[in-house]
């Protein structure tokens, strides 16, 4: 973690900077230009990290699953029965009165 607030457990689980670098230019002549551009772009847009700590590997997917679960629950709760739009307001009112 860059802020140093939490203990990362293991500082570096893997390091793929030689394959997909985080900086442009990375100074390695063997790195294809496409990868030199893709790494910084992924880092800017999505927070790509070529050498993540174990805490990042645990926390990031957990947060994505939690956000997805909460979003799904909210979506299901708010998608109640829909009103049929092909009927006129008078027909809908008569249906409501017949239910009571």
- CA 44 vs. chain centroid, Å, equals 14
15's tokens: 């390091």
The larger pLDDT score, comparing residue 93 to residue 8, is at 8
pLDDT at site 99: 67
| pLDDT value at 52 more than 60 | yes
The predicted model scores a pTM of: 0.61
Residue 96's pLDDT band, with cuts at 50, 70 and 90, is low
How far CA 84 is from CA of 22, 75, 88, 95, 98, in Å, comes to 53, 20, 9, 12, 16
Task: State how far the Cα of 50 lies from the Cα of 34, in Å rounded to an integer.
Answer: 16
Mean pLDDT of the chain: 82
């Amino acid at each position: 973690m860059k802020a140093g607030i939490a203990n990362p457990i293991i500082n570096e689980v893997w390091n793929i900077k030689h394959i997909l670098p985080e900086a442009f230019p990375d100074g390695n002549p063997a790195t294809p230009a496409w990868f030199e551009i893709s790494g910084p772009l992924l880092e800017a847009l999505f927070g790509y990290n070529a050498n993540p700590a174990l805490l990042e590997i645990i926390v990031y997917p957990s947060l994505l699953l939690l956000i997805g679960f909460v979003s799904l629950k909210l979506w299901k709760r708010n998608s109640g029965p829909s009103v049929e739009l092909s009927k006129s307001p008078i027909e809908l009112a008569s249906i409501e009165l017949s239910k009571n």
